[in-house]
């Protein structure tokens, strides 16, 4: 449940609020790679990870009952 954003786009909190997603943004600047990430930590805890694993194990969509 990770979304890699297009080059140059910054990860923003409002895009992941109330979801189980982690957004990752990147850009190159003067020989450096700049990474940004955003998560809503209320849905990235162990309980949500357990539901995600159960979904995968039993053939449901990965985001069922999470997003």
Q: How far, CA to CA in Å, does 25 sit from each of 39, 41, 43, 44, 67?
A: 12, 18, 20, 18, 21
Instruction: Give the chain's domain count.
Output: 1
**Confidence (pTM):** 0.73
% of the chain beyond a pLDDT of 70: 96
Residue-wise pLDDT tens digits, 19-42 = 888 999 999 999 999 999 999 877
* Cα(38)–Cα(3) distance, integer angstroms: 10
The answer as to whether 8 is a domain residue is yes
Summarize the confidence of residues 55-59 as an average pLDDT: 95
The pLDDT confidence band at residue 62, using thresholds 50, 70 and 90, is: confident
Q: Which residue in the block uniquely carries the two structure tokens 């700049």?
A: 34
Backbone angles phi, psi at 53, to 5 degrees: -65, -40
The answer as to whether 43 is a domain residue is yes
Residue 6 has pLDDT above 80, yes or no: yes
The answer as to whether 36 is a domain residue is yes
The domain of 52 spans 2-57
The answer as to whether 35 is a domain residue is yes
Helix (H) or strand (E) holding 18: none
Backbone angles phi, psi at 48, to 5 degrees: -65, -35
């Amino acid at each position: 449940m990770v979304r890699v954003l297009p080059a140059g786009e910054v990860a923003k909190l409002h895009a992941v609020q109330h979801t189980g997603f982690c957004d990752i943004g990147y850009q190159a600047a003067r020989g450096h790679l700049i990474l940004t990430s955003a998560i809503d930590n209320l849905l990235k805890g162990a309980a949500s990870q357990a539901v995600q694993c159960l979904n995968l194990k039993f053939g449901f969509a990965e985001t069922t009952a999470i997003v």
